[in-house]
Structure 1
């Protein structure tokens, strides 16, 4: 292959790298993606796409293909604790506790109020092929699986990389203005000396990926089932559906547990252990793959070094609790892509890319810290609620469980106390504010001096606001007879949007002048009675936080860049100064 020169080189073809490719294609940025594996992930891995990620996929016309394959809300909107999946004993297959989770049940109305689309469940091994198909369609011949990065150097004004075809051994020189490291930290970060700070290697977990018919015992609607075994702590485990059919007829499953070291390398022993864990000694199953992974909570000490931008697992790795890993990676590249497009087009100075780290690293730290907190809380909750701490001898476990399920008033009191403790798990599975409430305090924005809204200690209450740095609040509006979300005013091609009140014509005129002056794609729209967009209900008036003469400037990634509550003395001058500050143009 001849030498390649391209504006952006993406290293890594997982969910994060493929998303970066799709977003850059939509923004008109030429790029090359290389991935050392010959195909997308064959492991279940991440399976929950949170509300913010689904909004991003919706912006880039990916939500329909995801919905075609994902589980509907009624099929995954609860979490459950059980003693075991099956069994005939008095303590077998008993439900310890369950609660609404991730937008399901009573949460659905709340989530629907705050976004145009709900979360969904689609395992990574089913999501990534769809992302790959779209990436290859949009960028033909430049999404190269079976190609690995073998060397790279930042030359100051460009990155020069060596890429090897895994099948043939042929090497190619790639010259790029910027490199996106979406490789999980395997190559690029280590070469740059990036340090992963935090809590590494807390626990080794084994995942068995299998096909089996569990329909006689499975409870529909459960995204995660935790088994707390009444007799042996080593049989406690976690079971999740992996599709492609959802509900009782699900064919494939992921079982997370901690078997003995010998079992990990012996498929026959592993199958026997799976049957034992599930409580179905004669279960017919096909074991597809056994994988080991490490629970950790670590954050890169930097997200940018020169012309290298670090994203996804290469920048942050946290426990799977709350599902902030893949979701955080998609949100990383969504933040980064429009900035790269602005810099590469000459509309913005290279300094705009510094705002990627300024904005996303604090969010990454919060996600890592939250993942660690919920991970430890989950362990503590299970022990404290049911009374099965490490100090309880194995021989006393059945009596503890029997007391929990006892039909007496004392048993009812035990269960009521346990429910109080177990409900603190909402910080993990009802953390709506973590999903959509994250905000940027410093970066490509102009603060207005206001304080941020209060954040719920358990992360379960989101407060929409147009304060700069926050995500534009969702509200339904109507334009030319069509029902739209305020998010739909921001397209997928990298433009800014100025949203003014019904009396904000001066701001709209200023937006047209600024767009011409800075050669920046910037559209303006008024929302209100008699304006081009009419509120579909009273929600926009409740969340806009500006007067009828005010305006809100929204970035291509849906985050508010600036706002003015009133008409202002010099709209054109003010808006020009705002864009200059955001784009680093003096």
Structure 2
């Protein structure tokens, strides 16, 4: 039986798995992604990517392609309850224009649905050397202190083979088996509703008229649900609930019944429709009790399932993959200690739980669909997207700060454990962001008077064998808004160490000259990479 070896095996080819494949490839990590379905899903599912996810896709140079793919959704600004598309409107509101984020991020919301985004990610990962096999499923796996042996099977030929890897990433979704196989429990409210997504083709233009819906609730005697449509106005998705406790099952949704529901939702009994696919799924709110078990790491829906309110689910899975990729790469290269990987759970699990509970609160309070006042404990969208922080051994925490308490991202000030603030820069040719400076290695930012840090960083690199990129903000790169001091809090000759995932790891207001600066920087890097103090 032929055996193959990779650094990482990824089980699951959705947004989280594809993102992991792409991010690992940018770090030079070999991976094999296996997905039991024979191709990417045609269901839109996630209908948007939040600005933090777009920042990550910017690092892959995919942001412009995805924004172009979503251009047709620009006018989808109506939230309404209707009897049917052709019938009476019960209430309607125009959603506010998304806040301009120029002072927070170079990215914006992108209304690119999952079925359009996934092909870009797949192509990017493969262009970077990642291996992918669709129609191939993970049957079993065994792990020990050295790695993982995964048994995979080709669904067409039935052929099986073992694959050896150092790590296994479970991106197999909410119904995946890896988490259960490991005996990892779930926290949270659980299943909230059973849903059926009915994807269809029909000419919706006569019924939409000049309206373009972000959310459209259908309420009539024959159907209650959500009707979404794409920018061609020719493809729609009707989402309705069913109740297993009342004996209802997915098999009840025959072609005839689906056609009847679609016609009732549109409001035309003679509508010509083409049924494309149906997909049963659970609206749930759960978080895994741990995100890693030995050499197996959970990401995306395998780690947390979020109700579809606020558009956080797909983006959270991509952030999991981004946090994890540089850590796996660092451990594999030997520049980090193995315990760095435990910080994936330490950092991402609290954020997964927070986002899950905030998404559930949006559903429970009605703010996810209907127009109601938000409850006091609900965090605003930008705080939940950008304002969270990490407390872990991979952060040099400051005594007087707690980065784990979410804050308004406009108040971020370079505190270790928080996302490095965005500043507009100019390199003499192009406008750019501080975010464009991060990854795949450690980055040291310093102010216009911090030239001594160039020499100190070079000395530390020779000493530790860890590359450090150094950038002088306000000198090498023009600080367009002059906000360096306020944004990072270290003055013109201090320094800020930023991890490959764009989170601040350490900072000092001290200048970079002398032995003390070298010892401080080396100690910070050893701390962040969980190397101990063997080389200080």
Q: TM-score, normalised by structure 1?
A: 0.83
Residue 221 of structure 1 and its aligned partner are, at CA, apart by: 7.9
**Is the Cα contact below 8 Å between 1:75 and 1:220 reproduced in 2?**
no
Could you tell me how far apart the structure 2 residues matched to 1:381 and 1:38 are? 34
Mapping for residues 84-99 of structure 1, pairs under 5 Å? 84-87=83-86, 92-99=88-95
Q: Which residue in 2 is equivalent to 1:527? A: 473
Q: Which residue in 2 is equivalent to 1:300? A: 288
Q: Kindly indicate whether residue 207 of structure 2 is the aligned counterpart of residue 211 of structure 1.
A: no
Could you tell me how far apart the structure 1 residues matched to 2:167 and 2:53 are? 24
**Is the Cα contact below 8 Å between 2:403 and 2:418 reproduced in 1?**
no
**Is the Cα contact below 8 Å between 1:501 and 1:527 reproduced in 2?**
yes
Q: Which residue in 1 is equivalent to 2:339? A: 351
Residue 81 of structure 1 and its aligned partner are, at CA, apart by: 2.2
Change (3 A) 1:522 1:287: same
Mapping for residues 229-248 of structure 1, pairs under 5 Å? 229=219, 232=221, 235-242=223-230, 246=231
Q: Which residue in 1 is equivalent to 2:55? A: 55
Residue 301 of structure 1 and its aligned partner are, at CA, apart by: 0.9
Could you tell me how far apart the structure 2 residues matched to 1:427 and 1:131 are? 35
Q: Which residue in 1 is equivalent to 2:26? A: 26
Could you tell me how far apart the structure 2 residues matched to 1:460 and 1:501 are? 24
Change (3 A) 1:259 1:576: closer
Residue 454 of structure 1 and its aligned partner are, at CA, apart by: 11
**Is the Cα contact below 8 Å between 2:84 and 2:264 reproduced in 1?**
no
SS of 1:120 mapped into structure 2: coil
**Is the Cα contact below 8 Å between 1:82 and 1:97 reproduced in 2?**
no
Residue 134 of structure 1 and its aligned partner are, at CA, apart by: 2.2
Q: Deviations over 1:394-434 (max 9, x none)?
A: xxxxxxxxxxxxxxxxxxxxxxxxxxx62439998961111
SS of 2:418 mapped into structure 1: coil
| Greater displacement, 18-27 / 218-227 | 218-227
**Is the Cα contact below 8 Å between 1:224 and 1:238 reproduced in 2?**
no
**Is the Cα contact below 8 Å between 2:193 and 2:241 reproduced in 1?**
no
Could you tell me how far apart the structure 1 residues matched to 2:229 and 2:383 are? 26
Question: Which residue of the other structure, out of 154, 160, 166, is the alignment partner of 1:171?
Answer: 160
Could you tell me how far apart the structure 2 residues matched to 1:46 and 1:351 are? 33
Q: Kindly indicate whether residue 487 of structure 2 is the aligned counterpart of residue 487 of structure 1.
A: no
Change (3 A) 1:520 1:380: closer
Residue 455 of structure 1 and its aligned partner are, at CA, apart by: 6.9
Q: Which residue in 2 is equivalent to 1:253? A: 236
**Is the Cα contact below 8 Å between 2:309 and 2:369 reproduced in 1?**
no
Question: Which residue of the other structure, out of 412, 422, 429, is the alignment partner of 1:474?
Answer: 422
**Is the Cα contact below 8 Å between 1:208 and 1:290 reproduced in 2?**
yes
Q: Which residue in 1 is equivalent to 2:109? A: 119
| Greater displacement, 552-561 / 473-482 | 473-482
Q: Which residue in 1 is equivalent to 2:82? A: 83
SS of 1:361 mapped into structure 2: helix
Residue 72 of structure 1 and its aligned partner are, at CA, apart by: 5.6
Residue 363 of structure 1 and its aligned partner are, at CA, apart by: 0.4
Q: Which residue in 2 is equivalent to 1:505? A: 451
**Is the Cα contact below 8 Å between 2:218 and 2:226 reproduced in 1?**
no
**Is the Cα contact below 8 Å between 1:465 and 1:471 reproduced in 2?**
no
Could you tell me how far apart the structure 1 residues matched to 2:201 and 2:218 are? 22
Residue 447 of structure 1 and its aligned partner are, at CA, apart by: 0.8
Could you tell me how far apart the structure 2 residues matched to 1:454 and 1:159 are? 33
Residue 518 of structure 1 and its aligned partner are, at CA, apart by: 1.7
**Is the Cα contact below 8 Å between 2:388 and 2:403 reproduced in 1?**
no
Mapping for residues 370-389 of structure 1, pairs under 5 Å? 370-378=358-366, 382=370
Q: Kindly indicate whether residue 266 of structure 2 is the aligned counterpart of residue 316 of structure 1.
A: no
The gaps in structure 1 that reach 5 residues or longer are 383-420
Could you tell me how far apart the structure 2 residues matched to 1:137 and 1:427 are? 44
SS of 1:183 mapped into structure 2: coil
Q: Which residue in 1 is equivalent to 2:127? A: 137
Could you tell me how far apart the structure 2 residues matched to 1:228 and 1:518 are? 62
Residue 220 of structure 1 and its aligned partner are, at CA, apart by: 6.5
Change (3 A) 1:329 1:223: farther
Alignment length (residue pairs): 524
Change (3 A) 1:151 1:453: closer
Q: Deviations over 1:485-544 (max 9, x none)?
A: 1111114xx21111101122233322222222222221111112xx11111123444422
Mapping for residues 426-575 of structure 1, pairs under 5 Å? 431-452=381-402, 462-491=410-439, 494-528=440-474, 531-567=475-511, 570-575=516-521
Change (3 A) 1:525 1:577: same
**Is the Cα contact below 8 Å between 1:11 and 1:183 reproduced in 2?**
yes
Q: Deviations over 1:18-38 (max 9, x none)?
A: 111111111111121111111
Q: Which residue in 2 is equivalent to 1:194? A: 184
The gaps in structure 2 that reach 5 residues or longer are none
Q: Which residue in 2 is equivalent to 1:272? A: 260
Q: Kindly indicate whether residue 497 of structure 2 is the aligned counterpart of residue 581 of structure 1.
A: no
Q: Which residue in 2 is equivalent to 1:150? A: 139
Q: Deviations over 1:102-149 (max 9, x none)?
A: xxx1x332x233111212012212222222222223226x21111111
Q: TM-score, normalised by structure 2?
A: 0.91
SS of 1:255 mapped into structure 2: strand
Could you tell me how far apart the structure 1 residues matched to 2:78 and 2:85 are? 17
Q: Which residue in 2 is equivalent to 1:391? A: none
**Is the Cα contact below 8 Å between 1:322 and 1:429 reproduced in 2?**
no
Question: Which residue of the other structure, out of 269, 275, 286, is the alignment partner of 2:274?
Answer: 286
SS of 2:445 mapped into structure 1: strand
Q: Which residue in 2 is equivalent to 1:413? A: none
Question: Which residue of the other structure, out of 331, 335, 347, is the alignment partner of 2:323?
Answer: 335
**Is the Cα contact below 8 Å between 1:495 and 1:556 reproduced in 2?**
yes
